Structure 1
């Protein structure tokens, strides 16, 4: 499989700038891999495809307000700082992206907030992910984190050209988000409403939560034609014993085990035992899934509609079959499904 296998024409107007008015009223395309059928539904119809003791695996990561705007010392130039990863809580070191990058050198200071109470110094600009900053702040670590939250903005993806609006803070977060650490939302989960989760629970569906803190590496463009040479950025995952037990029981009972999102699928496939069961794990994964690939844990998945040449599209193609996904995406474009972060959803059975 080559990069060019995953290109297609996506009209710009199909990139969703806003979420559906209600979470569970996005559209849902249902693909049946065995029957090779495509159905058009609403997301809340998802419940019709699950029975008692089936398992839904959710990513409970929580997005933090990772986008800051500061001013460069002396020139006052406005600089966007995107927090990627905390390297050391004690020294307040962070990996960040800066824009415009060409204006930033080692030793430069950036000032944030009207009162300039938060200052950052650039200490390295040679990392693969951008820059390393040290934040200078008089106060406790808790006060520092509160200051980041106060000054930070919801990190909507760059393709959304509008300004961040108040509702984005809520809608760019799953309703079951708990563990703070993601710089991008696990978007397949954005479609679940409290009402839908309650209905699924009443029907006897079991839930298992895992954590994968989504980094920007998920969205990094693939720049090599030979996919085996693409390297994913590492992301932190936690697969707790309680969730592993629920998932393994589902596998043993031959039930549906559904990964809600590509992040969940990657987390599950990163810790598989020799007899194709799930192991507990806490650490990092840089797993890149593309066709051909044999999946060990989940036998169905919920996902959004992805952009051309993205690693997310490659994983979905590996799961549903490249030709079937190609056909489904042609149908999605024809039927004007909404793509990307705030777009519509797909259920692959």
Structure 2
């Protein structure tokens, strides 16, 4: 534990008035305010003017995960309501995108609202689909954690429909709990990025909510490059830090999925600005470095990749590594070499990486992100980029009526 930074979460508190929390999105995505922080200076603008603030040849890295309708509401025969919140596939090693395409039956990790009321038996729900009415059944198989995570077997009587489609027709988009409101029709569109593609998240990568197709086209016209990665955001993203010291906080693991062409592009662009759009993109990009370190170190010892099966990035791995001399280009090249040897075009694994003050960034030169909750791991990540200046930046945002959290305004932070 001696390598883990000694950080007390109380040092990352600030007063967030309820009036500063954006409960709904603005009518236009790119009309949101944009705070630009560079070399200690603060400037304000709007997302629609983002191209003015990015040098030509910058690469913006977006998370193309798609939020699924993860909340399923069932009525018991007695009339009581049970809510099942779908988290991720039961098989930790399963490709979540493939799991979403499963037909007929699937096992899923879930939280259950009113679990004590569900003693036994299946829950059933009739779903209206373009293919007619489908019967969805839920069978509670076992509890697998003290935090109330259960394995639920879902089955449905139409094998032409995937689990992603079942959720789409039967479920509700889960909004962040701090919005304190029910999901509305508009949220199905606005709590989704315009480039969302890969089903699997239970929360949106909210920095991307500000981008429109027009803005993306304008950025491209200005010589800004785009790259896409996938990190499926888990419910743990809202998990509060309850420990006094961050060393005692347990991060959740999330699936990442990165194409070989994207890694090749990043390798070629290391000498130009790489900007992560959102903390999920940032955590994925920095995880790539540590995955590359793991592969590089393995190959140095074994001269082959036989037996190297665990590429997961553990929470404190960057702070324990004894070999920090490996360059970013060496790390990314190691991943490409491994992918060549394995004959795969996709890197699929999990990351629990936590980024806190004292972390040395390996891939990114900046971050586009919203304003985050007090005493959160995301606020610690902001402090890792700009140090104690986060206090000045957040106070400026509050004083100038910036809107906070998922549907709020955002910032461009340069290292």
TM-score, with structure 1 as normaliser: 0.92
* Structure 2: distance between partners of 1:104 and 1:85: 21
Tell me whether 1:60 sits opposite 2:64 in the alignment.
yes
Instruction: Give the SS at the match of 1:148.
Output: helix
Q: Which runs of structure 2 are paired with 1:83-94 in the superposition (5 Å)? A: 83-87=86-90, 89=99, 91-94=105-108
Tell me whether 1:151 sits opposite 2:164 in the alignment.
no
Deviations 1:254-304 (A, max 9, x none): 321100000011101112142123345321111111112111000011000
Cross-structure match for 1:126: 144
Contact 1:231 1:288 in 2 (8 A): no
* Structure 1: distance between partners of 2:396 and 2:208: 23
Deviations 1:68-103 (A, max 9, x none): 11123x432112211111225565111111223443
Deviations 1:127-178 (A, max 9, x none): 2462221113223163554232101111111222333222211111111111
What is the CA RMSD across the aligned residues, in angstroms? 1.8
Tell me whether 1:298 sits opposite 2:298 in the alignment.
no
> Displacement, 1:126?
3.4
**Most deviating of 297-306 and 110-119:** 110-119
Segments ≥4 residues shifted beyond 4 Å = 88-91
Contact 1:305 1:345 in 2 (8 A): yes
Deviations 1:169-220 (A, max 9, x none): 1111111111111111000011011111001101111111111011111221
Rg larger in 1 or in 2?
A: 2
* Structure 2: distance between partners of 1:49 and 1:97: 42
Tell me whether 1:264 sits opposite 2:285 in the alignment.
no
Listed as ranges, the gaps of 5+ residues in structure 1 are none
Contact 1:206 1:246 in 2 (8 A): no
Q: Rate the CA distance shift 1:186–1:144 in 2: closer, same or farther, 3 A.
A: closer
* Structure 2: distance between partners of 1:238 and 1:147: 23
Tell me whether 1:117 sits opposite 2:117 in the alignment.
no
Contact 1:70 1:113 in 2 (8 A): no
Q: Rate the CA distance shift 1:20–1:165 in 2: closer, same or farther, 3 A.
A: same
Equivalent residue for 2:402, pick from 314, 337, 344:
337
Q: Which runs of structure 2 are paired with 1:2-21 in the superposition (5 Å)? A: 2-21=8-27
Q: Which runs of structure 2 are paired with 1:46-57 in the superposition (5 Å)? A: 46-57=50-61
Tell me whether 1:215 sits opposite 2:234 in the alignment.
yes
Cross-structure match for 1:315: 381
**Most deviating of 277-286 and 59-68:** 277-286
Q: Rate the CA distance shift 1:144–1:297 in 2: closer, same or farther, 3 A.
A: closer
Contact 2:134 2:156 in 1 (8 A): no
* Structure 1: distance between partners of 2:81 and 2:364: 45
TM-score, with structure 2 as normaliser: 0.78
Contact 1:7 1:308 in 2 (8 A): yes
* Structure 1: distance between partners of 2:162 and 2:197: 20
Listed as ranges, the gaps of 5+ residues in structure 2 are 1-6, 92-98, 128-132, 293-325, 337-346
> Displacement, 1:116?
8.3
* Structure 1: distance between partners of 2:53 and 2:162: 46
> Displacement, 1:245?
1.9
* Structure 2: distance between partners of 1:292 and 1:129: 34
Q: Which runs of structure 2 are paired with 1:32-47 in the superposition (5 Å)? A: 32=38, 35-47=39-51
**Most deviating of 178-187 and 153-162:** 153-162
Cross-structure match for 1:71: 75
Instruction: Give the SS at the match of 2:269.
Output: helix
* Structure 2: distance between partners of 1:45 and 1:222: 35
Q: Rate the CA distance shift 1:225–1:104 in 2: closer, same or farther, 3 A.
A: farther
* Structure 2: distance between partners of 1:276 and 1:288: 19
* Structure 2: distance between partners of 1:304 and 1:31: 13
